[in-house]
Amino acid sequence: MEKLDRKAFPSRGAIGQNRLVGVVARVLISGKWVESDETFNVLNKYTGEVLDTLPACSGAHVNAALDSAERGAHIIARLPAYERAAILERTADSIEAHAEDFVRMLVIEAGMPIKLARIELQRSLVTLRFSADESRRLVGETIPFDAQPRGADRYGYYMRKPVGIIAAITPFNGPLVLVCRKIGPSIAAGNSSVLKPASATPLSAVKFGTMLLDAGLPGEALQVLTGRGDLLGRQIVSDQRVRVVSLTGGATAGTDIANHAGAKRLIMELGSVCPTIVMNDARLDLALSCLPEAAFAFAGQNCIRPQRVFIHEDVYGAFLERFVERSSRLVVGDPAKEQTEVGPMISEREAVRVEAWVEEARKLGAKVLLGGSRDGSVYSPTILENVPPSAKVYREEIFGPVTVVERFSKLSEAIAKSNDTAYGLQAGIFTQDIDTAYQAIENLNFGAVLINDTSDFNSDLMPFGGLKRSGVGREGVRWAVEEMTEIRTVIYRAPSG
């Protein structure tokens, strides 16, 4: 596969040029490209080719970034809402103007099938434009202090103010959209940001940063640090100047960050083992039209994909046969090809891990109905039956193209099995009965319950987040902006007489 045409990305700094390890690279701090002698390679996830060489930041870089962000917090807080909105809209326009170049970048740095990359690009644009809208809607309300006797001579209101500095830590499976979901609301709220993208997929985030600066964002208001998350993340989140940490990642990383963050607000989406229930009255064609793609697209590297599918015993055999057959028709391979639906995993190491989890389940008695094979970093779509609850693939988020199927006889059984997990992000159910839907809504212990859909849907128009180990706080632009602002109350005491 050809390397990216860097000339398609005019920028303020000389980023994106292929470098050899050991050549001085640069990192974005205070709107400038700061040198770093330590570097790491970013690879094409399908071919293994070196795409670029980026800085592996040090503690000194983190300190410089936080110093700049502290200055930037004062600068951006004084920008009126219409200017912040205009910056976000200009950035969206710029990304849209280079849409296919960004799509190509997502394909090669993340291994994302090109059809999904185009969807991610469009979602990113929507997120930025929603963020621009929310910057104009930072409203408070009046407070009726005279509702109690001692407040009879007082009146007032509250308003929302930026918190200061946001630490944004993003994963590899949303290299652009999840960056936009954090930085967009942060700017809308009037905060400065320190962004640490995943080391496997930093190119989209770095380019996004240059476009924000080109759109007029003050240089001190955004720092982009690249390198090892376990080293940089702790230093960033433990600094008391950071007031909100927004993380999308795994439960282990979330626990570690929470332990180091101290007294600050956390917005953390930490994954899940999402269920989808297929009732005996379900529209089976509807379920089959979306379940294979939801389960296996982007090689299953999706926190809300249906990892466990519970199928009513009345339709179990017929539905399962069709589910396996349709899943077997998914096109696996080169993500740059238009027909590809399942590309490589983020690394061969992750594919080897998935292979080990499936082998563990097999040794415990699971039956492989489809897939179960690996070719380098590509793991085939896999469906498992008779998986014991003790298997990792049943209880933990596999983050790979593996789905477990299980039969049930009563709705209460399916709900109990769905809830029998340490996670609680989203759940889906297919049924045509309103009472069944109501029982699911009331009793499934998840952040969202989807009716006549799999667990695999979210929108920036909804509060997105989970229960239990799936995280704390909510994303979605409006809700993220609220999390990234503080309430200031104003109270006037009326003069006597």
- Residues marked as catalytic: 269, 303
State how far the Cα of 387 lies from the Cα of 399, in Å rounded to an integer. 17
Segments of 362-437 assigned E as strands: 367-370, 374-375, 378-379, 382-385, 402-408, 423-424, 426-430
What residues pair up with 142 in beta bridges, in sequence order? 157
Are 58 and 27 in contact, with CB atoms under 8 Å apart?
no
DSSP 267-306: EEE----EEEEE-TTS-HHHHHHHHHHHHHGGGG--TTSE
- Crossing angle of helices 229-238/251-261, nearest 10°? 40
Q: Which helix (H) or strand (E) holds 99?
A: helix 99-110
Q: Amino acid identity of 448? A: A
Q: What is the DSSP letter of 9?
A: S
HSE-CB for 407 with a 13 A CA cutoff: 10
What residues pair up with 277 in beta bridges, in sequence order? 310, 429
In sequence order, which residues have a C-beta less than 8 Å from that of residue 74 and are 6 or more positions away?
Answer: none
State how far the Cα of 37 lies from the Cα of 35, in Å rounded to an integer. 7
State how far the Cα of 72 lies from the Cα of 148, in Å rounded to an integer. 42
Give the pairing type, strands 265-269 and 242-248: parallel
Please identify which residue in the block is written with the tokens 């434009």: 129
What SS3 state is found at 96? Answer: helix
Q: Which helix (H) or strand (E) holds 393?
A: helix 392-395
372 torsion bin: left (phi>0), alpha (psi -120 to 50), beta (else) = left
DSSP 19-61: --TTS-EEEEETTEEEEES-EEEEE-TTT--EEEEEE---HHH
Secondary structure of the chain: what % helix, strand, coil (to 5)? 40, 25, 35
DSSP 147-171: GSGGGTTEEEEEEEEE-SEEEEE--
Which residue from 9, 52, 57 is spatially nearest to 33, judged by alpha carbons?
57
Total Cβ atoms within 10 A of residue 31: 19
